[in-house]
Amino acid sequence: MKERLIKILVFVTCFGLIAWILATQNAALPIWSITTGLMVSIIATPLYFGLVEALYSLNHLSLFWKTKVIYRRQDVRLSIAYLYRIKVKGKYLLVKNRKSNYYQLVGGAYKTLPGVEKVFKKFEVKPDKRFETDNGIAKNDLRFTLPGKYVIGIIKWFHSREDREISQWREFCEELLTPGILDKHNFRYIDYKYATTLQTPMKKAKKLSCQEILIYEIFDLVPNTEQLQSLEAMCDQGDTDYIKWADPVLIDKLGFDERTKEVVYEIGAHTKWAIGERWTDD
């Protein structure tokens, strides 16, 4: 509150000084011209950032209204992750979720880095209690709750890439290399390219009494010749309990096979969103 009050006082003072100079002094004189220019620069800076904020809000009017007004003081849950689309012979590689009995694209939540404490304190971030590890709450995951009024600010912080994981290698290694699904030497390095970012509307969280926003950054694996051959061979070997190869039709129906009229296995809705590059209310 003190910081905001100081900004208001500086703005009003500068505006008043400009008005006084124009009304009582010869603004063409160097001293008043320089003073006026300085005051205009001070005023213009917050106006510029205010204009940017207003334009951003127009493009996200629903989110702005919900976070700044309706759920301003209520906790909102955010989960921010990345996913790999690994496509071979028209099918996508899926892995079994570690906590639930369904399959999804390779990937997981981003992690924070040392230095994020200041940001989290500013936005009153609290650890997510929905997902826990063997050692308790996964505090370093970008899954957390915070007051609605800070949601837009924390999303902007995420896109700044400061004090958080920016590589997508860790989950690829943990889900495919560590368990021996892929050869560690053959895939000791990988290339992948950014595809898109999906952000769900703010909606009621499943199994929690709060609103929720899910954000996914989607990447396409770009295998070299040797890696592609290895993936094709694995695809030819078929499914296992841990990995599945699913075509877009099966993914679109979240594991329901229209040909056999039965659920082959469950597929997470976010996998469908990532393949189709749009959110659907599944």
| pLDDT tens-digit map of 168-180 | 999 999 999 999 9
254 found inside a domain: yes
- Are 70 and 170 found together in one domain? yes
Domain count, the chain: 2
Q: For the ranges 20-29, 77-86, 121-130, 156-165, which has the lowest average pLDDT?
A: 20-29
- Are 220 and 267 found together in one domain? yes
- Are 268 and 163 found together in one domain? yes
The packing angle between helices 30-59 and 2-24, to 10°, is 130
CA 152-113-207 angle, to 5 degrees, is 55
d(CA 122, CA 59): 25
155 found inside a domain: yes
- Are 54 and 99 found together in one domain? no
196 found inside a domain: yes
DSSP state of 261: T
38 found inside a domain: yes
> Residue 13: its pLDDT value, please?
76
- Are 105 and 41 found together in one domain? no
> Residue 64: its pLDDT value, please?
86
75 found inside a domain: yes
Going by DSSP bridges, is the β-strand pair 75-85/103-109 parallel, antiparallel, or unpaired? antiparallel
What band does 19 get if pLDDT is binned at 50, 70 and 90? confident
What band does 50 get if pLDDT is binned at 50, 70 and 90? low
**Helices and strands of the chain, counted as H and E runs:** 9, 14
Instruction: With a cut of 50, say whether residue 136 has pLDDT above it.
Output: no
158 found inside a domain: yes
Asked whether the beta carbons of 187 and 215 are under 8 A apart, the reply is no
- Are 121 and 32 found together in one domain? no
| DSSP alpha helix (H) spans, 68-218 | 116-122, 151-160, 169-172
- Are 74 and 187 found together in one domain? yes
282 found inside a domain: no
Average pLDDT, stretch 32-43?
A: 72
What percent of the chain clears pLDDT 90, i.e. is strictly above it? 67
125 found inside a domain: yes
**Where in the sequence is the domain holding 49, given as residue range(s)?**
2-59
d(CA 146, CA 120): 9
State pLDDT tens for residues 78-117.
Answer: 999 999 999 999 999 999 998 889 999 999 999 999 999 9
